[in-house]
A and B are shown apart, each in its own frame.
Chain A
Amino acid sequence: MIGKLVAQDVLKIKRKGIWFLTFLGPFGVVALQMVNYGVRKAYLLQQSDDDWAYYISNVSAFSPFALILGIAILTSFMASIENETNGWKQLTALPVSKMAIYLSKFTVLVMLLFLSSILLALFSLSYGVFLNLGDEIPYLELLKYSIYPFLASLPVLALQLWVATVSKNQGIPITVGVFGVILSYSAYVLPDWMIWKWPSLLNQWNEPMINVLFGLTFGAILYVIGMVDFMRRDVK
C-alpha cells in the first residue's frame, strides 16, 4: 500500500520543478566553489597542504544550509501540491490510513534529499578532479561529507514536514525555513542541542558521527510527533 502511495506521490511531483531543484541544490553548492576556485584558485591552494581536504571543507561550508533550504522548499512544495488541488481531502477519502499518507510524503522527501546528497558527492568529486587537487582522491571523505549532513538534517526535515502539512498558509513553514537557514549559517555559535547545527557536523567532541546518530534518533522522534499531530487533525 505504501508503495502505491509513494508511486502516486512521485507522479504528483512531476513538472513542478522538484526534480530540477533536487539537481540544482548540489549543483549550486559545487558551482559556488567553481566561482570561488575560478576566481582565486592560486590563493586557495596555498591555504593548506591537503588540497582535497581543504576543498571538501569549502564545499561543506555551504552544503548544510543549502540542505536546510532545500528541505524547507521541498516540504512546502509537497504540501502545496495537496493544498492547491484540495488533494488532502481526496487523499484521505482513499482507503488508506493517514499514517501511510504522511509516511509516503516523508519517504519521497527522503529519497529526493538522498539523491541530492549522492549528486553532491558526484559533483564535488568531478570538480575536484577537474581542479587537479592531487592523485589521492579521498572517496570516503567525499561521501561522508555528503551523506552525513543529510542524515543529521532528518530532524529538520521531520519538523518542516510537520509544519508544512498542518499549515494552511505556506508562509509559516517558509518562515520557519528562513530562521533555520539563519541558525545553520551561525552554526559555530549555536549550542550543540539545536537541530539546525547538526548538519554542519560540528560539535564539542569533534565527532561528526554523534550528529548523525542524533539526527537519526531525533529525526524519528520528530517524525512520529508530526505524524501523530497530522493524524489527529481534521482534513482541510
Chain B
Amino acid sequence: MIGILGSEWYKLQKSKAIFLLFAGPIAGLLIGLVVDINLLPGEAINKWHLALLSMNLNYALLFLPLITGVFASMICRYEHQAGGWKQLLAMPVTRGKVFIAKYLLLVTVILGMQILYLGSVFVVGIVHGITDPFPMVIVWKSILGGWIATFPLVALQLGISIMWKSFAAPFAVNVCFTLPAILAINSDRFGPYYPWAQPFSMMYIGGNTEDVFFIPWDQLLTVVGGSFLIFFICGYLYFQRKAV
C-alpha cells in the first residue's frame, strides 16, 4: 500500500496538475483583497468572519466542488492516456488498493489546498488590518470541516473519472450537481441534505442557531458520511469490474 501511494504521489508530483493547488487560494486571495470588508453589511463580532465571508461564497460554493472533479480527472488522465491502467493492474496490486490510494492522494491534495486557503484568509486579514483575535473556529470548521465535506464529492468524481477518459464528461456531471447547490444553500429544507452544498455549509461560520445557514454538526456528518459511503462503495465496486 505504501508502495502504491508513493508511486501515485510520484506521478502526480511530476505532472503540472499540482499547480492547480494554488489556483483556488490565489483566487480567494484576490477576491478577499478586492472586496472591501468594511463595507459589508451586518455587525460582526469578529472582523475575521467578514473576511472569510467575502471569500467563501465563490470558493466553497463553486470552486471547491468543481476543482475536486478536475483533480480527480487529472490523476486518472495519465492512466487513461497510454495504457496506464493496464500496466498498473498487471502489477502485484489489488484494484481495491489502487482505488484507495488514488482516493487518499486526492483528499490529501484537497487538504493541502485548504491549508493554502487558510493562508489566503490570513493574508487578507492582515492586509485589511484586522486586529481582532484570530478565531480558531475558522481552522476547525472552515478549513477542516470544508475538507471533510468534499469527501463524498471526491469519491464520486474519482469513480466517474475512472469510468470516462474525457475531462468534459466528469466535469459535466460535476456541474450538474454543483449548480443546484446555489439554490440549496438558501433552503433550510434541502440545504442540509444536499451533499454539494455541504462544503459551503461547513466552511460558513455564522454563529447563532437562528441563522438560515446554521446546520447542526451531527446532521452534517450524517449527510456527508452517508453520501461518502454510497459514492465510495459504488466507485470501488465499479473499478473492480471495469475491463482494462
Contact = CB atoms under 8 A, between A and B. Distances in A.
A189 B74 contact: no
B89 interface: no
Interface string B168-193: 11011001100110110001011000
Contacts of A80: 165-168
Nearest to B73: A171
Interface of A: 17, 21, 24, 28, 32, 35-36, 39, 62, 65-66, 69, 72-74, 76-77, 80, 84, 169-171, 173-175, 177-179, 181-182, 185-186, 189
Given A73-B172, A77-B166, A171-B167, A182 B180 contact: no
Given A24-B176, A84-B165, A174 B58 contact: no
15 contacts: A21-B172, A69-B179, A73-B172, A77-B168, A169-B16, A173-B167, A174-B73, A174-B167, A174-B171, A175-B67, A178-B67, A182-B62, A182-B63, A186-B58, A189-B34
Contacts of B67: 175, 178
Q: Which 8 A-B pairs have the closest CB atoms?
A: A170-B167, A76-B168, A77-B168, A80-B166, A178-B66, A73-B172, A182-B58, A69-B175
A135 to B, nearest CB: 28
A72 B171 contact: yes
A189 B33 CA distance: 13
B20 interface: yes
A66 B180 contact: no
B77 interface: yes
B162 to A, nearest CB: 16
A210 to B, nearest CB: 24
A66 B179 contact: yes
A65 B181 CA distance: 14
